[in-house]
Chains A and B, each alone.
Chain A
Amino acid sequence: MSRSLRVANGGSIRRTRLLSFSFNGTLYSGFEGDTLASALLANNVRTVHRSFKYHRPRGVVGSGAEEPNSIVQVGSGSKATPNLRATQIELYDGLTARSVSGWPSLRVDLYALNGLLGRLLPAGFYYKTFMRPRFLWSWYEHFIRKAAGLGQAPREADLDHYDKLNIHCDVLIVGGGPTGLMAARAAGRAGARVIMADEQAEMGGSLLSSTASIGGKKPGDWVETVVSELTRMPEVILLPRSTVTGYYDHNFLVINERRTDHLERPDPRLRRERIWRVRASQVVLATGAIERPLVFSNNDKPGVMLASAVSTYLVRYGVLPGRKIVFFTNNDSAYQTVLQLVDAGMEVVAVVDVRSDPQGDLIQQVRSAGVPIFEGHVVVDVRGGTSGLRMVLIARVNKTLDEILSHKGELRCDVLAVSGGWNPVVHLHAQSGGKPVFNEECASFLPGPSVQNERSAGAGNGTFGLADCLREGAEAGRRAAQDAGLTGDGSVDIPKVESHVEGSLHPIWVVPNGLAEGRGGKKFVDLQNDTTVADIRLAAREGYRSVEHLKRYTALGFGTDQGKLGNINGMAILADVLGQAPGKIGTTTFRPNYTPVTFGAIAGREIGSTFFDPTRKTAVHQWHVENGAEFEDVGQWKRPWYYPLPGETMNEAVRRECLATRESLGILDASTLGKIEIRGPDSAEFLNRIYTNSWLTLEIGRCRYGLMLGEDGMVMDDGVTSRIGEDHYLMTTTTGGAAHVLAWMERWLQTEWPHLRVYLTSVTDHWFVTSVAGPNSREILTKLCTDIDFSADAFPFMSVRAGTVAGIPARVYRISFSGELAYEINVSANYGRSLWQAIMTAGQSLNITPYGTEAMHVLRAEKGYIIVGQDTDGSVTPGDLGMDWIVSNGKDCIGKRSLSRQDTRRENRKQLVGLTTVDPTLVLPEGAQLLNEPAKEFPAPMVGHVTSSYFSPSLRHSIALALVKGGRSREGSMVYAQLIDGRVIPATIGQPKFFDPENQRQKV
C-alpha cells in the first residue's frame, strides 16, 4: 500500500489544483506545479524503471536534466512521446505515462535474469561471443535488439507543428538561476538586447529549492522582483522551458523552447516547440552545477538519491522522498539539505561523512540540531528492493579513503541522500571550443580559457557560494554588455545573503566495501547504461585506456542523459586505475545536444508536400491539371508527363500524343527550360569561352545549339542560344541545370574574366514558352500571328523573330526538339494561359494535341537528340556523343584541354549508338546493361548500357539510345541486354538516329 509522502505544507505547488494522472495504468493524483517525478514520489512510487543491461529496479535519482533512470513514455497515438525524463515532465490533468522497460511488468521483470548472469556480461561481452556459428548472429541480434531500446516511436504521424525563429542579441544568458538573473539585470540595465533562457518552467534555478533569504527576502520573492524588473525592460526576452542545446561556431546557439507539452489541452494553433537560432554578440554561461553521486555497492537501488534532489523535492514540491533519511557525503553542501529537513521537522537518521574531521559552519549547525554524524565513515552497501531501501551498511574508512577499517553495522532508512561534490555544467563552454580544466579543489572540470565570446559565471564556473554567484553573475552581465558595445550603466547592488564557512571536499571516486575489487554488490558509475567500476577496470586492463575508448567500450556516458551524473566519476576512476591525475586524461568530447531535441522541431516547417522543397509550376499549370495531366518531377518543377484521356493507359496516351505531333500538330509547355539573358559588348566572346563551338559570327535573329563542358571535359549542359540584338543574347539551359549553369557562368565572369563586359540575368520565370510542333505548325502560327512572315525563306530554321501572337507581344523561335517543323513562342509569363488557350482554340480543327515530357522524349529519341543527364552522366565527352563537330578547333573553351588527355582520346570509350531490338515489340528497359554475349558466369564483362528507350509509334518498333564501348565502329553487330529479372534481350547496334535521318521535316 502506498502512503502519501507529501508534507503538510510548503513547496511552490498549487495545492488547490488537484491533478490526476496515470503511470503504468494506475491512477494517481498530484498538484499543479508538480513534475511527474515529484508526483510519483509523493505517491510513494519507488521503482520507475528497469535498467538497460541487468534490468535492476531503479527509482528517481535526480530532479532535472541529469536524471538517468526515470525515462518514460508519455501519451499515445499521434501524441505519443518516447524517452521523456519524469523529472522534467510538468504534470497536467489526464497525463498518462508508462515506464519504457520491464517485461512483463516493472515489478516482475523476467529479463532481470540478466542480473543473475551478470558475471557473464562484463563490458564488451558481445565483442567476445555470439560469433559462432556465423549464421546465428542474426538470430542473436534479434534478441539483443528486442532487449535494447527505451521507448517506442509513435506509430502515427505527428499532428503538432513546430517553428523556428532567427534572432540576434547582445547578450545571451544561459540559465536563469541567481547568477543568470544578476547577469540579465546588469546587462539589461546597460541597455543590452538580452535573451535569458532556462530549461525549467520558471526562472530561479537553485533558488527554487532554497530556503535561505536573499536581500532580506524569501528566495521566491527575490526571484519575482528581479523577473518583474526584467519583464519591464523592452529589450529583454525571458525564455522559460527553453534549453540552450547547442553552441556552434561564431557564437551561434540553438535554443529549444517547449511551448505546449505542459498544457492539458493546448490550443491546436500553438506550435509545440520552437527552435531559436541565435547569433549572440556575447554569451554568459550561468549553467549551474550538477551534484555528483557516490559510487558504492548497490548504489543504484531505488531510494538512493542525490542530496540536492531530496532538497528540491522537499522545498519546491513539498514531497519528502522518505520518512527516514540517511545522508552520505564528502562535502558540506549536503548539510544544507539536512538543515532544511530538520527545519521542516523531518527525521534525519544520520549523516555519514567520509571526512574524518569535517569542519564548517553547516556541520556545526547539524551537529547542534542533534543529527548524528558518522565522521570518517562510508556506506559500504545498501539493502532494499523495488519498494525502496531498508537499510544502509556503514563502515569506518582510512584517511586515504581506500580501505575499510571496521564495519559499523546498519542504519535503517528508506532513502539515502548522496553527495560526492558538484560538477559545473561546462557542456556549452566545451561545445564552444573551450577546453575544460580539472580543478583539484572541487575535484571536477571547470571552464578553461574562452575561445568564443563567452564567459562562465556562478556554479557553472566553479563558484559555489550564493553570495559569490550573485556578484559574479552581475559582473559577467555588466562586462558582457560592455564587450557587446553597450555603454549604459550596468551596475547593480549585490543583495545580502547569509554566508558560511565551508570545509573542503574530500574526493572519493570509489567507495571501498571491504572486499577485493569486483567482489560484492555492483558499483554503478553510469546508471542508464549499467556501467560499473568493474567494467571500467576491465576496459583499462584490456587496453581501452583512452577516455574515448573507455566510453565506447563500456558505453559510459552514452545514455540519453549523456553521462551528466556518471562521466566525471568514470573518468576519475579510469585515471586512478592508470595511476594518472584526472586532469591528465581529460574528458570525452562534449557534443550537442545538451539535452535531446525533438526531430520535428529541428525540421521546423520545412516538411510535407508544400514546404519540404519549393514546387515550381509553369504559368499554364492549372490548365494541365484541369486537363488530366500526370506530372513528373524535374528538379523543383512539375512538368506534365502525359495527358491520358479517360480510360487511356500511359502507353496509349503517349502513342496518341506522338502520332498527333508527327501527323498534324502537338503543343508542349516548354517553360521550365532555363533562360538566361546575356548582355554586354563582350557577350559573344563570353559564349565563345563557355560553349565548345564558335559564337563570334552568329547574326542577330539567329540561334545556335551549344554544348557546355565542365573543365574536366565532360558534357555539363546544352541548349539553344539566340542573338536578340547587337549585345544581347538569350541562352536556354536544361530544366534541371539552369541554376547551376547560371551560378557557374557568374563565377567564371566574376573570378576569372572580370574584364569581360557581360551581364547575366535569370529570366526563366519571366517567360512562358510553348512549343508548337508538327507539319501544321506553320499554318496555325500564320493564323495567330500576322506581323511575322513565316515563309521558309523569310524565317528559316534556327532563327528568331519578334511579333505579336494572338495579340500578345512574343518572340517566336523556329527551333525543333522533335524533328518536326516547330515554333517556340515566348511570351511574358502573365500571358501564358491566354496564349495557350488561343492556340488550343485555333488548333482545334488541326487536332492540336498537348503532349507531355514522355512524348517529347520519344520524339527526340527518334531523332537521336540527347538529354543531358539522361544520355550523359558526367563521364561523357562530346566525342562520345558523336559530336566532335561541335568542338571548335580554332579557339579554347572551358573543358577543351581535358578532351586531349590519354583517356579521353581512347578509341573504345563508350559512345552513343542507336539500338533496335531483334523482337521489335520489346522495349529495352532504360538502365539495361549490355553484353557482347549472354553471360555464362559472373562477373560478366559489360560493354555499355541503355540510356533512353521507347516504343516508337511512328516507326512501329522499339528504339533505344545506348552508350557502348567503341560503339560507333560496331554498327550492325549484336549486343545483349541481360536483365536482373533473368531476361536476355538481343539488339542490333545502329546509328543513334531513327526517324527522318536527313532532317528534312524540320527544315520545310
Chain B
Amino acid sequence: MKNKYSIFSLARNAVTYHENWREAWRSPEPRKGYDVIVIGGGGHGLATAYYLASEHGIRNVAVLEKNWIGGGNTGRNTTIVRSNYLWDESAHLYEKSLRLWEGLSQKLNYNVMFSQRGVMNLGHTLQDMRDIERRSNANYLNGIDSEVLRPEQIRQIVPIMNTSPHARYPVLGASFQRRGGVARHDAVAWGFARAADREGVDILQNCEVTGILRHNGAVTGVETNRGRIQAKKVGVVVAGHSSVIASMAGLRLPIESHPLQALVSEPLKPILHTVVMSNAVHGYISQSDKGELVIGAGVDSYTGYGQRGSFSVVEGNIGAIVELFPVFSRVRMLRQWGGIVDVCPDACPIIGKTPIRGLYFNCGWGTGGFKATPGSGWVFAHTIARGEPHSLNAAFTLERFSTGALIDEHGAAGVAH
C-alpha cells in the first residue's frame, strides 16, 4: 500500500521533513452521478461508504458533507465504546460494532486509539442493582463480556471514587465491561475517510444537500449547493439533522433533536483509568490520553439545533461528578460544547428503508451513536447494497413505531450513552 502508515513510513518521511505525505483523502469535484450517495460525513456516513466499497464492491460512492467531515457528533462526544446493552437486538448490534472496533486501527491503517480500559456502570439503589443484574446476565448469555462488581471491587479499580455508605446515593455495585473503553473520536472519522477514499469513494466537503430528487416514488439524486448529483440510492446519516433531510423528501420521523453537552477539565496526570457512568447520580467520566477528564452532561429538554445547551445542565452534571469524585473539586473545567442528538422514543436507532424507494435512513442514535460507528456503517452498507436490512438491523425499522415493536433501552440505560 502506498503511503501506508507505520513507524517505518514515519521514519522515512522524517528524512524528507514530512514533505511527501499524501493527503489523507482527496478533495474531488462532484461527479454527475453515483451509484450511492451517502449524505452526512460523520463517522457513520464515512463508515457506510467504506463498507459499501470494501464489503460490497460498490465503489462509485460519494459522501456529501455540508461542513467538514467528522464535525458533528463524531467530534463532539465523550468517546465511550461499549456493547453491554439490555435487549438482544441492541446488544447484538453494538457487539458487532465493538468487534469491528477491536481491529479497526489495523483494518483502516489509522490509529483510532481504541483503548479497552473498561466501562463501569454504577448502581445506587436496589432497583439499579436489579437492572444491573438483569443486563449483565443478558450480556453474558449474549456472549458479551460483563461482570457485576461489589463496592469493594469498585474501590480497587477506582480508589478515588466516593463509595461511602453515607453518600446521598451510595454506590451499591456496578456492571463492568472490560472490553469497553474509549477511542479518539476525530481519528475515527479521518481513518474511515482515508480508507474509503482509497477504495475510490469521493468525499465532498462543503457540499450541502438542499433537496432530494424523486421520480415515481423512487429517489433519483440530490440537489446540492454544488449542483445536482444523480444517484441510484441515497443513504442519509445526518444525526441531529435527520428531520431536516427527511422533510426535503416529504417525510416525517419519530425523532426530536436535542442539545447534548459535554465538557473537559484541564489535563491531569493519570488518575482515572476506566470509564465510569452513573445514571442515578447522572454523570459519566473518563480520562483521555491527553489527561483531560472527559465528562458527559445531560440532554436539554427542548428541541435545539444550536450546538449549545444550558449552563444549568453543566452545573448539575459537575455536581454529580464532584459528588462521586470529591477529589476533583479543585480541578478546573476547561471547555464545554454541545452536539445535536437525534432522539427516538425508544432510545434506539432507525436503520433501514423508507417509503421512498432507494432512500435509506440511519438515524435516531440519540446519545449513543459514537460507539456504534463501525457497526452502524457496516449494517447500513449492507442494507443499501442489498436493498434489505441485515439480520442485525432488521428490528430497527421505521415500521416498529406502527407495530409497537419498540426496543426500549430507556429502562436499561436511563441515558443510553
Contact = CB atoms under 8 A, between A and B. Distances in A.
Interface in B280-316: 281, 287, 289-291, 308, 310-311, 314-316
A3 interface: no
Contact of B271 (A152, A545, A980): A152
B218 interface: no
A238 B124 CA distance: 44
A981 to B, nearest CB: 9
A17 interface: no
Nearest to A164: B315
Interface stretch (A169-177, A589-597, A676-684): A589-597
B403 A596 contact: no
B332 interface: yes
Given A608-B323, A870-B127, A155 B160 contact: yes
A609 B166 contact: yes
A160 B336 CA distance: 24
B320 to A, nearest CB: 8
Contact of A980 (B148, B316, B328): B148
Contact of A609 (B26, B115, B168, B329): B168
Interface residues of B, number: 115
A712 B140 CA distance: 30
B111 interface: yes
B77 to A, nearest CB: 13
Interface stretch (A653-661, A752-760, A923-931, A950-958): A923-931
Interface string B164-198: 00111100000000000000101100110000000
B279 interface: no
A246 B146 CA distance: 41
Interface string B8-22: 011100100111011
A134 B113 CA distance: 11
Contacts of B142: 938-940
B109 interface: yes
A940 B331 contact: no
Main secondary structure of the interface of A (DSSP, over half): loop
Most buried by A among B136, B269, B345: B269
A148 B289 contact: yes
Given A602-B333, A634-B125, A927-B131, A546 B67 contact: yes
B331 A607 contact: no
B152 interface: no
Given A146-B270, A598-B330, A613 B168 contact: yes
Nearest to A161: B329
B321 A901 contact: no
A387 interface: no
Nearest to B25: A543
B138 A929 contact: yes
B151 interface: no
Nearest to B206: A546
Contact of B21 (A518, A538, A602): A538
A149 interface: yes
A898 B109 CA distance: 49
A129 interface: yes
A980 B136 contact: yes
Interface string A377-410: 0000000000000000000000000000000000
Contact of B402 (A160, A246, A600, A901): A901
B103 interface: yes
B101 to A, nearest CB: 12
A252 B308 CA distance: 13
B7 interface: yes
B395 to A, nearest CB: 11
A599 B111 contact: no
A499 interface: no
Contacts of B331: 82, 153, 598-599
B409 to A, nearest CB: 10
Given A546-B205, A942-B88, A125 B323 contact: no
Nearest to A74: B330
A552 B75 CA distance: 9
A521 interface: no
A545 B203 CA distance: 14
Contact of B404 (A608, A613, A898): A898
Nearest to A275: B315
Interface in B60-78: 67-71, 75
Interface in B104-124: 105-106, 109-111, 113-117, 124
A898 B26 CA distance: 51
Interface string B91-103: 0100000000011
B201 to A, nearest CB: 14
A804 interface: no
B29 interface: no
Contacts of A945: 134, 137-138
B143 interface: yes
A134 B106 contact: yes
Interface stretch (A136-144, A413-421, A696-704): A136-144
Interface stretch (B228-236, B260-268, B375-383): B260-268
A603 interface: yes
A153 B408 contact: no
Nearest to A132: B106
B263 to A, nearest CB: 9
B6 A599 contact: no
Contact of B332 (A134, A137, A598): A598
Contacts of A137: 105, 111, 113-115
B138 A149 contact: no
A929 B136 CA distance: 9
Nearest to A979: B137
Contacts of B408: 873-875
A901 B113 contact: no
A134 B18 contact: no
B14 to A, nearest CB: 4
A148 B323 CA distance: 26
B109 A131 contact: yes
22 contacts: A120-B14, A122-B18, A127-B187, A129-B5, A132-B6, A134-B105, A148-B289, A149-B267, A149-B268, A150-B268, A157-B327, A160-B330, A246-B311, A541-B18, A546-B67, A548-B68, A553-B190, A598-B333, A599-B322, A603-B318, A633-B124, A927-B131
Interface of B: 5-7, 9-11, 14, 17-19, 21-27, 67-71, 75, 88, 92, 102-103, 105-106, 109-111, 113-117, 124-127, 129-138, 140-143, 146-148, 160, 166-169, 184, 186-187, 190-191, 205, 265-271, 281, 287, 289-291, 308, 310-311, 314-316, 318-323, 326-337, 345, 400, 402-406, 408, 410-411
The 6 lowest CB-CB distance pairs between A and B, nearest first, are A149-B291, A927-B133, A938-B143, A158-B329, A927-B134, A596-B332
Given A156-B327, A560-B267, A940-B142, 9 more contacts: A129-B10, A144-B289, A145-B287, A151-B269, A157-B326, A518-B19, A541-B21, A600-B329, A875-B406
